[in-house]
Structure formats: C-alpha cells, structure tokens
Amino acid sequence: MSLAERLVLPADVREAIVAHAREARPNECCGLIAGRARTASRVFRVPNVADDPPRRYRMEDVSVYRALTAMGEALEEDADGHVGEPLAIYHSHVSSAPYPSPTDREYAQWPYSFYVLVSLRSGESEVRAYRILNNHPGAEKSVLEVDIVYVKT
C-alpha cells in the first residue's frame, strides 16, 4: 500500500479554512475536515485550547467529539456521503511556513488522517497537506507532503 496520494479540496472548503485562519488571527485556528474517498466536503471548526495559541494548537475535546458524532450520524442517514468521515485535521500558522512544526509532529496521532496547514505569513494564503507517520516507535515521525487537487464547487 502506498501512502503517496492526493487530497481533493473543493474551492469552498479551501475558502472555509482560510477564512477561519484569518478570523482566528493572531491565534492559530484548528478543526476537522470531513470527506470521502480523499475528497473533502465539510469543515468543522474546533476551538484552539493551547496554552500559547498564537504559536500552537490543541483541539478542544468536546468539539472534536461533537464533530465526529455529526459525521457518524450523517454516515447513517446519508448514503451519498454529503458529510462523510473524518478525513483531515487542519490548523493555521500565522507567521511561519505551512509545514508541520516539531510540536505539530509530536501532537499528530493519526497516521490515516491528512494534516492540512494554512499559512498566513504572506499576504496570500498558502495551503499544504501532509501525512505524519510514525514509522518506528520512539523515532521522529516522518512528514510526507500530499498533492492537493483543487476543484470548483
């Protein structure tokens, strides 16, 4: 099985996470992206409860639970998968590159999730996607960039 792959990001999903990043500034924002078959469909904002939110993120547990519950209910009720399953975890960087920091890598616990980074360091928003993998217990996690395919909505 290869993990080299792509994430399909409809324009409205990209806009939603960039809007969240801009609103949260000077803090980092975070949240979950639902989707199916590597295609994102909906954004669930989650409060950032990190001690140092301009520089780090920690997702608030209750909101994560609620988002996952909403996705689960949608799966039961909606065979078309309009909401879908947990696909990605996103957060923003206010003034650094859209790349997982050492803390981000340490916090990343879901090898099957995409990690989407939004950077506002320049005037333009930069969005990148990764897998963060723990290949060897105790070793540093590896980061693989994933191609993002943008589609119109």
Contact residues: Zn ion, CB under 5 A:
101, 104
Q: How far is the CB of 107 from Zn ion (least distance, A)?
A: 8
Report the residue number whose CB is nearest to Zn ion: 104
Q: How far is the CB of 68 from Zn ion (least distance, A)?
A: 21
Task: Give the Cα separation of 129 and 152 in Å (integer).
Answer: 18
Q: Which amino acid is at 68?
A: L
Q: How far is the CB of 62 from Zn ion (least distance, A)?
A: 22
Question: Between 73 and 140, whose beta carbon lies closer to Zn ion?
Answer: 140
Main-chain dihedrals φ then ψ at residue 147, nearest 5 degrees: -65, 140
Question: Between 41 and 104, whose beta carbon lies closer to Zn ion?
Answer: 104
Question: Between 38 and 55, whose beta carbon lies closer to Zn ion?
Answer: 55
Q: Which amino acid is at 94?
A: V
Cβ-proximal residues to 127 (8 Å cutoff; 6+ apart), any chain: 9, 14, 17, 18, 98, 116, 117, 118, 119, 148
Whole-angstrom CA distances from 148 to 28, 49, 87, 90, 121 are 21, 28, 13, 14, 20
Task: Give the Cα separation of 127 and 148 in Å (integer).
Answer: 9
Q: How many H helices and E strands in the chain? A: 3, 7
Question: Between 84 and 131, whose beta carbon lies closer to Zn ion?
Answer: 131
Q: How far is the CB of 71 from Zn ion (least distance, A)?
A: 23
Question: Between 95 and 153, whose beta carbon lies closer to Zn ion?
Answer: 95
Q: How far is the CB of 152 from Zn ion (least distance, A)?
A: 29
